[in-house]
Amino acid sequence: MPTLQVRNLPEDIYVQLNYLAEKEHRSLAQETIVLLKEGIATKLGNKERRRKLLEKIGDLNIDGSKFPDPVDLIREDRER
């Protein structure tokens, strides 16, 4: 199994990591692995969700000329 060494880890991050490890009854290494897995899954999940949303938007074939100009809408609202 590969090994990862982190240098110059800020003290506050170390303290928080140690706190979470104790709270979850894990070693520092185990807690680090769990947090890295969760962070990676979240980041990849967000990218995948955005990609699917952009595909849906692209499939809608929305013509921007059908929408009113925001400047006209604001002007109309201010005149009331």
| DSSP string for residues in 3-17 | -----S--HHHHHHH
What's the total number of domains in the chain? Answer: 1
Domain-embedded: residue 6: no
Q: Give a yes or no: residue 5 inside a domain.
A: no
Position 55: which residue type? E
- Distance between start and end Cα atoms, the chain: 69
Each residue's pLDDT tens digit, 4-53: 999 999 999 999 999 999 999 999 999 999 999 999 998 888 888 888 88
Full-model pTM: 0.61
- Given a contact cutoff of 8 angstroms between Cβ atoms, the answer to whether 31 and 15 are in contact is no
Q: Inform me whether the pLDDT recorded for 80 exceeds 90.
A: no
Range of the domain at 15: 11-79
Question: Would you say residue 37 lies in a domain?
Answer: yes
Residue 59, in any domain of the structure: yes
Hey, which bits of the chain come out as E strands? none
